[in-house]
Structure 1
């Protein structure tokens, strides 16, 4: 009897433990598109990332979280610093992490915990003193002249294992203490890569470079033949689709020629960064199986970017390097969203924007058109965020966060659905056409005068259709300084709620509704245009637009939510 009681107690404890983690945050890949699940329900990450050093000051951190909660964020991207967690090898201090989670819970915020370990914007500035001061034990990235950088080499097991040990200790600590799952996801490292060279030339790296391409990379190429990034597909094809040999024997010589300079070397480094990152992530997930990712600094044709970092042209190499990371993300300091978001979703990569300029259009478009898990402007706790220059955009972002939080189920249930579309315009992209059901919608700038919000079709054939405003042939405006918000931007999420009924959430765009070619009708018109809000997944009407305001034109100074019903006969 005593033995049976003891056995029942063990079973009860195990069951209690399972219940505790039954609602572990996860990425549900069984739905129409990968969906973040928190507390068992779909979750949009309406986030903001702190400045890098905020988390090292408890008072500043608490004040920042209290303030940013007013922006209707539900998630903060904050940091765990290796140098402060393990100042002495083998001795761990999680005081700052504990304070972060306590403060976040007080503000009802979830946390994406960013691990500043081996690399932060390429540099190893967050490694502990005992790592920095012992380059013999912890080797560094080496240049052609033999000089080394303050950057741990990805080809050292000692580097990788020391990082993984600290990260795993952090994940074990979260498992033991974060029972309410305030941390919903982790980012392992930040922007690996190197500005100074395309390839690590340390002795260990040289040996690997001269060896055969690893089998998992070869197998990835073979499994994805015809679906690889175009430049990689071409490089492999031009070299005869070889399936064995060194990297250059399989993919061709690494030279300055072509759009992507020293491309084979960049792919080589990307693959080995991925192996390093995925090893650390896998070790951590053995302790606490949270969704995990890493981010990259954007490629630019001038060559000023960390070579080998996470970018579309090397994303295949990252994906070949392991599966412990769920996806790879861009840091979005551009508004050329179409090419960027398209390329970061190639091969089924899930889109999440962990860093961005303060441009609400990025949130609306990435979520509405690319099924993004969420969006987070960087430096959300900074004075620049609250500046006069950013006042309008901060107001729109705040309203966007509040609205999308009340539409999460509606939006996530329409991921990858023909009933949801995102539209986006900017200074050089004057219009954006999408199709929903029987309709073709054309988005243009709401600040330009002229035109109606309907293509009246046959009802105006005898008097002529309204003319669209003329487009300018002027040269594009000079790009705005880094981090500042460009002008002339607008975006919206459009959801079809019925055959002739739509919800629109956005700003700065005017929508023209037309029936698709071939659909017969005599008259097309508005039944109603209602302005309102969303509350717990339901539209609440506050105002009816008619007369001079009977048009789907959303001002560029505020977020507008509309319910539009049309008729045709």
Structure 2
């Protein structure tokens, strides 16, 4: 059955974590630092490769103990685990295939160039390749079922890693690839294009003449080669997913090395800028049409540009079509520490991971200063976890983000107008409390660099006048909407009065314990009269406004 979120023993689970470096998991006993790094960030999940060459070094001989050792490590560290099945593909090549596959190109067909020169990529058109991969994958799923079916330490398995062709071709010119490229486009793909006229796939189809059928070039023109690779790569992976799910039902997804989306990168060519055939933005519709056994298609987002980062999140968030947003790889810098709130608060993401978690620690095993913004974001998300799980898709949660050069923004909250002030915004006399005297001073300095840590928050409106807030470097002020007669209340013109013109019934700091909110501090007087402010170490702020 297709799943729309991570679960543990039937309960929703938000996966907040880090992916290890590529070679960290070959020897499970060496992974303490991997778990320690994610623990230091505040994560609850470690994702790590399970390499095919390590699991099946000799054909038909599987190292069950290796898989169990990885699970045991996660249990010892009291973390959940996502296993990354590095097999046919790893970043568009066959690096993690066993030696017995690499050394037998006759049996295990490679993707070929037009002159017959082989690439370092297995062909997605070769059933022998898929069956060998699928056999090993199903054995892995048997181990998970038998060793972890009750405990559910492993919450998901990623099938392959950034699949596609990274090389000098956009399709396989070998005999199997040539056969499939000359064949008619599958009816399912034509039906999808017709049923989704605003999709990228429909645009390619329409540009090529909107033919009711034909081969890949006839139907999709110049895009046909990439569409063919995308369809057969997606079907290859989905067949593996279907076989694996028949053995053990766990969340299954594929990840994506992204293209340049609306702007494009350099030549915008699959094979050069990204693995051709992967679920990039221009081919995502092909994957949606081809895949029936995957639960998510997940973008690896490293974009240093905020607009592209947010665009990539939005492209892959399609819960209405049954495709939830999960970000399995991202950088640990300050920009991402802010923009992850967009994925959670506006797009209902089911999980968010950074890559290379071990690099967040210094030589002494301490968290690097550069990783502190991400640690603060993890802390806020953990504090609000019961609220996130409850309100992920009901419209009661929203993200508040500061952009470089901006000191405030407006948002609507039901029957309230809200002004959010960030670092560098608000009045110079605004206060917090004595515990945050340094934060008060830093609040005066505007954020002008996208690499700097910026203000962010999640706001939950659970009733007309009742709210919960987690955030950092943010202060909120509320008013009822302006009168219908066109006037502006005089009190809005006086910043000093405006800051405390809306009464609160209470402002509390606290935390959730076993699903119940426990108050740890109460704000009043100076600490409460300058709006509702939040810093990462405040936990959850619970407040109610008074008419």
**Which bracket does the TM-score occupy, shorter chain normalised?**
0.7 to 0.9
1:519 to 1:58, Cα distance in 2 relative to 1, 3 A: farther
Indicate conservation of the 8 Å contact 1:114/1:189, yes or no: yes
1:489 to 1:516, Cα distance in 2 relative to 1, 3 A: same
User: Following superposition of structure 1 onto structure 2, how do residues 209-220 of structure 1 map, counting pairs within 5 Å?
Assistant: 209-220=181-192
Indicate conservation of the 8 Å contact 1:495/1:502, yes or no: yes
Aligned to 1:390: 370
Aligned to 1:86: 56
What SS does the aligned partner of 1:377 have?
Answer: strand
Deviation for aligned residue 1:212:
0.7
1:491 and 2:456 correspond: yes
Indicate conservation of the 8 Å contact 1:115/1:189, yes or no: yes
Deviations 1:78-128 (A, max 9, x none): 221110111111111122211111111122211111101111111111100
1:471 to 1:239, Cα distance in 2 relative to 1, 3 A: farther
| In 1, Cα distance between equivalents of 2:531 and 2:457 | 15
1:500 and 2:465 correspond: yes
| In 2, Cα distance between equivalents of 1:425 and 1:308 | 36
| In 2, Cα distance between equivalents of 1:513 and 1:236 | 49
1:350 and 2:350 correspond: no
What SS does the aligned partner of 2:354 have?
Answer: coil
Indicate conservation of the 8 Å contact 2:108/2:128, yes or no: yes
| In 1, Cα distance between equivalents of 2:202 and 2:524 | 52
Alignment counterpart, residue 52 of structure 1, candidates 19, 22, 40 = 22
Calculate the aligned-residue CA RMSD, in Å: 2.9
1:308 to 1:510, Cα distance in 2 relative to 1, 3 A: farther
What SS does the aligned partner of 1:392 have?
Answer: helix
Deviation for aligned residue 1:443:
3.9
Give the stretch that moved more between structures: 308-317 or 161-170.
308-317
Deviations 1:316-365 (A, max 9, x none): 10111121111100111124443222211244421011111123334432
Indicate conservation of the 8 Å contact 1:384/1:390, yes or no: no
What SS does the aligned partner of 1:56 have?
Answer: coil
Aligned to 1:185: 156
Deviation for aligned residue 1:423:
2.3
Aligned to 2:142: 172
Aligned to 1:241: 210
Aligned to 1:320: 289
Indicate conservation of the 8 Å contact 1:363/1:374, yes or no: no
User: Following superposition of structure 1 onto structure 2, how do residues 172-321 of structure 1 map, counting pairs within 5 Å?
Assistant: 172-179=142-149, 180-196=151-167, 197-226=169-198, 228=199, 231-251=200-220, 253-254=221-222, 263-300=223-260, 301-302=264-265, 303=268, 304-321=273-290
| In 2, Cα distance between equivalents of 1:59 and 1:158 | 34
- Name the count of aligned residue pairs: 497
Indicate conservation of the 8 Å contact 1:507/1:560, yes or no: no
Unaligned runs of 5+ in 1: 1-25, 29-33, 255-262, 454-468, 480-485
User: Following superposition of structure 1 onto structure 2, how do residues 118-133 of structure 1 map, counting pairs within 5 Å?
Assistant: 118-133=88-103
Aligned to 2:511: 533
Indicate conservation of the 8 Å contact 2:17/2:38, yes or no: no
Indicate conservation of the 8 Å contact 2:416/2:479, yes or no: yes
Deviation for aligned residue 1:471:
10
| In 2, Cα distance between equivalents of 1:428 and 1:332 | 23
Alignment counterpart, residue 338 of structure 2, candidates 343, 361, 377 = 361
Give the stretch that moved more between structures: 158-167 or 491-500.
491-500
Give the stretch that moved more between structures: 325-334 or 193-202.
193-202
Indicate conservation of the 8 Å contact 1:530/1:545, yes or no: no
Aligned to 1:142: 112
| In 2, Cα distance between equivalents of 1:192 and 1:401 | 31
| In 1, Cα distance between equivalents of 2:208 and 2:538 | 52
Give the stretch that moved more between structures: 118-127 or 355-364.
355-364
Alignment counterpart, residue 111 of structure 1, candidates 78, 81, 90 = 81
Deviation for aligned residue 1:429:
6.8
Indicate conservation of the 8 Å contact 1:270/1:308, yes or no: yes
Deviations 1:37-57 (A, max 9, x none): 211212111221111111112
| In 2, Cα distance between equivalents of 1:452 and 1:221 | 58
1:218 to 1:92, Cα distance in 2 relative to 1, 3 A: same
Give the stretch that moved more between structures: 489-498 or 384-393.
384-393
Alignment counterpart, residue 515 of structure 1, candidates 456, 480, 500 = 480
What SS does the aligned partner of 1:498 have?
Answer: coil
Consecutive aligned runs of 4 or more in structure 1 exceeding 6 Å deviation: 469-472, 519-523
| In 2, Cα distance between equivalents of 1:435 and 1:46 | 28
| In 1, Cα distance between equivalents of 2:21 and 2:389 | 29
| In 1, Cα distance between equivalents of 2:58 and 2:288 | 34
Deviation for aligned residue 1:537:
3.0
User: What is the TM-score with the length of structure 2 in the denominator?
Assistant: 0.83
Unaligned runs of 5+ in 2: 431-443, 492-500
| In 1, Cα distance between equivalents of 2:445 and 2:379 | 32
1:488 to 1:342, Cα distance in 2 relative to 1, 3 A: same
Indicate conservation of the 8 Å contact 1:278/1:321, yes or no: yes
What SS does the aligned partner of 2:25 have?
Answer: helix
| In 2, Cα distance between equivalents of 1:428 and 1:313 | 32
Indicate conservation of the 8 Å contact 1:247/1:264, yes or no: yes
Deviation for aligned residue 1:500:
1.6
Alignment counterpart, residue 356 of structure 2, candidates 351, 360, 379 = 379
Deviations 1:210-230 (A, max 9, x none): 21101221222233334x2xx
Alignment counterpart, residue 310 of structure 2, candidates 313, 317, 338 = 338
Aligned to 2:532: 552
